[in-house]
Amino acid sequence: MATSSSFLSTPLLKASSSFPTHFLSPLKHCVSAPSTEFRALTLYRNRNGVSTSSAAVATETQVSTPDDKLKETRKEKSDKLEKVVLPTNESSESLLRIRHTCAHVMAMAVQKLFPDAKVTIGPWIENGFYYDFDMEPLTDKELKRIKKEMDRIIGRNLPLIREEVSRDEAQRRITALNEPYKLEILDSIKEDPITIYHIGNEWWDLCAGPHVEYTGKINRKAVELESIAGAYWRGDEKKPMLQRIYGTAWESEDQLKAYLHFKEEAKRRDHRRLGQVLDLFSIQNDAGGGLVFWHPKGAIVRHVIEDLWKKIHIERGYDLLYTPHVGKADLWQISGHLDFYKENMYDQMNIEDELYQLRPMNCPYHILIYKRRAHSYHDFPIRVAELGTVYRYELSGSLHGLFRVRGFTQDDAHIFCLEDQIKDEIRGVLDLTEELLLQFGFSKYEVNLSTRPEKSVGDDDIWAKATSALRDALDDKGWSYQIDDGGGAFYGPKIDLKIEDALGRKWQCSTIQVDFNLPQRFDITYVDSNSEKKRPIMIHRAVLGSLERFFGVLIEHYAGDFPLWLSPVQAHVLPVTDTQLDYCKEVTNKLKANGIRGELCHGERLPKLIRNSEMLKIPLMAVVGAKEVETGTVTVRSRFGGDLGTMAIDDFVSTIKSAIESRASI
């Protein structure tokens, strides 16, 4: 049910991303496998004089020249959807009102069809609305019935009427309706009088608004019920499981169509599906939920990411660390994690009468390395970095592919510095962040600077200096940013950065946090120029966030079509017949000897081999027939650049190496 503003602002529980304000076309260089297959065959046959049966020629013509009218119609439809600008709740108050009213209309429809259903909360959310009901599980068929009833209510053009009542009167009405969740919500509303919104004189709800004036203001063709999910009341697994119905609502039918088009494209890019299709990773039920298995192809991408990460960090003055995955429970007591983070930690292990803990963070370990010896002010800044695996307790219902897991590897780093070094160190982190993210094709960011919350540690002076240093570093960098007043951690101000992917979605990625808390808890010090002990500043920072989540974002950003330098397999060597196998092995070995990830594929007819390569999104195909063996060449097709012709093997190798070095496509 909709209630006071604190309930209305409840976000959609979806950790993945933000929806873009406009829909942009996905990568347009992608071509269908059958069409590409026959173009590659045609190229090979034309250049090598291979005869083709009349049936094969007919097939080529049929596949490579689809019905122009149908193609043009689809293109026009796609272009039209790309031009539709999708408003947000923030940019359009009318859209927010529509979505909020849709939640009420849906609740009214549900209770008309299912009189025993109890209502709870129903806010607007990023792309629509939802409502939670205490009722029997729903089916997709019943979802259609609910939508039809909503359409009838909308069509009746009923007024939305605001009423103010006393708390006692609200309680009397709720009790009369036998709505226990409403009573609990009423108790949580602190303001008087209590506001109620009626739909005509048939249904009402506790609500602070806003709403449209009449249900007829909602475009029935711009509303769709999307899915049903389970949700615990108040998010507490010990409380009843409710039925949550998600819906989307827009101002026009065109907006809805553009949104649904976006959803289809997002579904096509879903990293969980592509992870299986491309054999990149899996999560094995026999091992447990939220635990990631990196398959060979996914592992090689991770290897490339890690190597680049380490190279850039070493160049920028970081020392690399490796630290244990477990530690004494006392360590986490000192750090404060057992007091403030225990619900996210796994149970302790008793080893020889001492309690040990799987680590949820890397920070205490880096501090212990700092404390191994005394430090002078001459030593600063000290920068340490680790690709450290941590473990967080997550309920099974919250797990989501690579985006929400129980074990993951953070690209963690900590900087120990002096107060007057904060600005330069933050600027250095911003430069490193940009350098690394640009390598993966991310150039658009949303940046937030979060300042001191009401409850915090540290004195006013150091908070002011640290916040000013973060602001000055951002200004020096020239990045635009928003101020999140009071949104900092209790231990210091922070900068959060979201990256924008190919669909315009924003993903939380990098974070930079100044910490006044852990240096005090662990009593770390240095000796200043006056031979006095002082406490250093500690900066936490992660650029990619976690390797698992970042890999998931990469998969969806590229739709599994990784650029050449990052692709797990960079080239397939394809023989026309098995008589060319020995030569193909030589080509494949030469690719590997030059650091190129090549694979020899055989055992099928050439059309099938080409089709398989396309399905696996292999950047390059080197086709080898009798003429290539005779001339020491390969016939090359690029997934992104089309037909590249016939090349000598050494030229093929040097072309690939040059493209990898420059991060270019061929």
Q: For 355-418, what is the HEC assignment?
A: EEEECCCCHHHHHHHHCCCCCEHHHCCEEEEEEEEEECCCCHHHCECCCECCEEEEEEEEEEEC
Told to judge if 412 belongs to the known catalytic residues of this protein, a careful annotator would answer yes
pLDDT given at position 39: 41
Look at residue 42 and tell me whether its pLDDT is greater than 50: no
pLDDT in tens, 408-419: 999 999 999 999
Length of the chain: 666
Write out the E strands in 524-639: 526-527, 533-534, 537-546, 571-575, 598-600, 620-624, 633-638
Look at residue 70 and tell me whether its pLDDT is greater than 80: no
412, 496, 501, 561: the catalytic one is 412
207, 363, 417, 601: the catalytic one is 363
What secondary structure does DSSP assign to 16-29, as a single string?
A: S-B--SB-----TT
- CA distances to 22, 299, 445 from 441, in Å: 20, 20, 12
pLDDT in tens, 294-313: 999 999 999 999 999 999 99
Told to judge if 29 belongs to the known catalytic residues of this protein, a careful annotator would answer no
**Cα separation of 71 and 276, whole Å?**
30
Q: 361: phi > 0 → left, psi -120 to 50 → alpha, else beta; which?
A: beta
CB 487 within 8 A of CB 537: no
CB 548 within 8 A of CB 411: no
> What band does 78 get if pLDDT is binned at 50, 70 and 90?
low
pTM over 0.85, yes/no:
no
Nearest partner of 121 among 9, 261, 20, judged by Cα: 9
540, 597, 637, 639: the catalytic one is 540
pLDDT in tens, 431-476: 999 999 999 999 999 999 999 998 887 888 889 988 999 999 999 9
Nearest partner of 498 among 444, 560, 559, 551, judged by Cα: 444
**Cα separation of 443 and 518, whole Å?**
33
CA quadruple 66, 71, 74, 77: dihedral, nearest 10: 180
pLDDT given at position 72: 53
Told to judge if 359 belongs to the known catalytic residues of this protein, a careful annotator would answer no
pLDDT given at position 77: 54
Told to judge if 602 belongs to the known catalytic residues of this protein, a careful annotator would answer no
- Where b means 16+ CB within 10 Å and e means fewer, 9-48 reads eeeeeeebbbbbeebeebeeeeeeebebbbbbbbbbbebe
pLDDT given at position 454: 87
Nearest partner of 2 among 242, 216, 172, 209, judged by Cα: 209
Domain residue spans in the chain? Answer: 93-266, 285-558, 571-662
- Tokens 């669909």 locate to 503
494, 498, 505, 549: the catalytic one is 494
45, 118, 313, 392: the catalytic one is 392
Residues above pLDDT 90, as percent of the chain: 78
Told to judge if 77 belongs to the known catalytic residues of this protein, a careful annotator would answer no
Told to judge if 584 belongs to the known catalytic residues of this protein, a careful annotator would answer no
Strand-pairing partners, residue 558, are none
CATH number of 571-662: 3.40.50.800
Report the run of H or E that residue 474 belongs to, with start and end.
helix 460-477
Identify the residue with better confidence: 255 or 56.
255
> What band does 47 get if pLDDT is binned at 50, 70 and 90?
very low
Write out the E strands in 120-240: 124-125, 128-134, 160-165, 194-199, 203-206, 223-232
Residue 408: both structure tokens together:
């993951």
- Where b means 16+ CB within 10 Å and e means fewer, 104-113 reads bbbbbbbbbe
Cis omega (within 30 of 0) on the bond before 193?
yes
> What band does 665 get if pLDDT is binned at 50, 70 and 90?
confident
243, 410, 570, 580: the catalytic one is 410
The DSSP letter of residue 10 is: P
pLDDT given at position 1: 46
Told to judge if 392 belongs to the known catalytic residues of this protein, a careful annotator would answer yes
**What CATH superfamily classification does 285-558 receive?**
Bira Bifunctional Protein; Domain 2 (3.30.930.10)
| Mean pLDDT score of the chain | 88
pLDDT in tens, 130-144: 999 999 999 989 999
404, 414, 427, 597: the catalytic one is 414
The answer for residues whose C-beta is within 8 angstroms of residue 439's C-beta and 6 or more apart is: 308, 663
CATH number of 93-266: 3.30.980.10
